[in-house]
Amino acid sequence: MTVLLILASQSPARRAVLAAAGVIPVIHVSEVDEPAVLCDAASERGTSVEELSAEQRVSILARAKAKAVYESWKRVADASASSSGDLVVGYPLEAETESFESAETAESSESASNALASDSQSDVTHNVDTAQTRDFSGVTVPTKTFDIHDFAHLNESSNNCNSVLIVGCDSMFLLDGECYGKPHTPEIAFERIKNMSGKTGQLWTGHCLIDARTGKFLCKTSHASVTFAQMSDAEIRAYIETGEPLEVAGSFTLEGFGGAFIEGIQGDPHGVLGISLPILRSMVAELGYAWPDLWNKNTVEETCKKSDPTSTEVPKENVHQPGDGWVQCNCGRRHWGHNGAAGVLLARRDAETGRVTHVVMQHRALWSAEGGTWGIPGGAISDGESAIEGALRESFEEANITSEDIDVVGAYREDHGNWCYTTVFAFEKTGHRVEPCAHDDESMEIKWVPIDDVPKLKLLTAMRTDWPSFRARLDSLASIR
């Protein structure tokens, strides 16, 4: 059995602890409002936040983080399960040789210049040899049509997982009866670290593990005593200038700059790093799984090495979690996503006529492939996800497209054999409004664009090639709904 672990945290330390133990997690950030969660929990108990113990606080927050990610995961899974329509699969590499060679010639002479054409869009950056996305303009692509739920390959990644577990964690440092979370500012960090100097406190870490398939969950906590060396004011200021203590519980780390100032630990050292492996292992077992079923590090790293023949090691700057990384594609280019990639083409319709009026478009960051062009939000499909699930998750993470507010009505999959890109067609639900916005640094802008204005944008090469057929399909789907 293969079990995928989702970590409801962007903590590098927690990810590093898991990776060292053979588990490369998928990262889903919970975006929980921690003070509000604690206030609500205290109110429910008829007490104040200050009267909650450190153990209670970390347990409450760990559960809130895991639950938030679980609910997000479930919304995506439910939206995927309720999708309708056809999946059209195109096989461009199976096109007739003459047509394909013609397209290659066109790409080398015309499409490269077209991609760089306008002086008014000089912010667009391209590396035609390595960064330009696929271009099959002029190619008659053979296709097959499937029911969107019957086509098995759409509903599993190349590293399909039997089960999904979600773990949320939170840590706090208890010293002289006071709980220390993240200081956030240099001034608070200085005051806290000066007070901690030469003393011993307790680092508490809460864990909540949820079985995504059943909704069953467990919560446990770990703690360890941490003794600090005497630190001079100059040492404290120098440590704060590294930036390390500002966004970590207790204003210190064991594995970083702060490790030199820690004289002793009694208890679970992994808990001090943010996640206790022994406790997590026991929780995994209580939910009915075997710890070795989570081991995937060798698989992920070997896949990365094989996919990029020019690399002798895992490209750490590219591979952030399972599914991320470059694939040397059968089409002759490198594409992103070991399990392929997917995105959402979301349309808005006129309330009276039902005709498509707008679509959501992404103005791509300049550092990305064909930076400065416009396309749709999307990205690599994670291990254990279907293409639809990956598209829905990515579109939320990048563009705030909320799964509960849209209907999936069809898909187009461009199949290159060892890599595929799936475009998921969706409509905004009647009575719902999606408010797209740039959620991360992959976009300069996300906005609704009038459908007639899309061809006027500087489009990503693949989108420019596909847009006429995508427009026709959106209009067709709107007419029958």
Residue with structure tokens 């408010």?
Answer: 435
Calculate the CA 97 to chain-centre distance.
Answer: 38
pLDDT band (50, 70, 90) for residue 317: very low
CB atoms < 10 A from the CB of 42, how many?
A: 18
Banded pLDDT at 136 (limits 50, 70, 90): confident
pTM of the predicted model, to two decimals?
0.81
Q: Which residue has the tokens 């509960």?
A: 404
CB atoms within 10 A of CB 143: 15
Least confident of 1-5, 211-215, 371-375, 468-472: 1-5
Query: What is the pLDDT at residue 117?
Result: 34
Report which of 64, 27, 82, 9 is spatially closest to residue 429, judged by C-alpha positions. 82
pLDDT digits (tens, 9 = 90+) for 323-338: 888 888 998 888 889 8
Percent of the chain with pLDDT over 70: 85
Quote the Cα angle for 448-449-453, to 5°.
Answer: 175
What is the average pLDDT across 366-378? 90
d(CA 147, CA 150) in angstroms, rounded, equals 5
How far is the C-alpha of 469 from the C-alpha of 412, rounded, in Å?
10
SS3 302: helix
Taking only the tens place, the pLDDT of each residue in 96-108 is: 644 444 444 444 3
Angle at 284 (CA atoms; ends 387, 25), nearest 5 degrees: 40
Query: Coil, helix or strand for 346?
Result: strand
Concatenate the DSSP letters of all residues of 140-190 into one string.
---EEEEETTT-GGGGS-TT--SEEEEEEEEEEEEETTEEE----SHHHHH
- Give the CA count within 13 Å in the CB-facing half-sphere of 424: 33
What residue type is assigned to position 19 of the chain? A
Assess whether 440 carries a catalytic annotation: no
What's the chain's length in residues? 481
- Tell me: pLDDT of 312 over 90: no
pLDDT computed for residue 157 by the predictor: 55
Looking at residue 151, what is its pLDDT? 62
pLDDT of residue 302: 53
List 170, 324, 407, 415, catalytic entry:
170
Cα separation values, 301 from 249, 305, 412, Å: 31, 6, 30
User: Is the pLDDT score of 388 beyond 60?
Assistant: yes
Mean pLDDT, the chain, rounded, equals 85
- Going by pLDDT thresholds of 50, 70 and 90, the confidence category of residue 152 is low
In whole angstroms, give the CA distance from residue 451 to residue 474: 10
pLDDT number for residue 440: 79
371-399 burial, b at 16+ Cβ within 10 Å, e below that, comes to: bbbbbbbbbbbbbbbbbbbbbbbbbbbbb
What b-and-e string marks burial along 297-335, b requiring 16 or more CB atoms within 10 Å of the CB? beebbebbeebbeeeeebeeeebebbbbbbbbbebebbb
Residue of 122 and 253 predicted with greater confidence:
253
pLDDT at 129 over 50: no
State how far Cα 302 lies from the chain centre.
21
Residue 309 has pLDDT above 50, yes or no: no
- The residue among 259 and 169 whose pLDDT is bigger is 169
Q: How many CB atoms lie within 10 A of CB 345?
A: 27
Q: What is residue 131's predicted lDDT score, i.e. its pLDDT?
A: 45
Q: Are 478 and 354 in contact (CB under 8 A)?
A: yes
pLDDT at 45 over 80: yes
Is 395 in a helix, a strand, or coil? helix
Q: The tokens of 415 are what?
A: 């199949």
Q: Which helix (H) or strand (E) holds 282?
A: helix 277-286
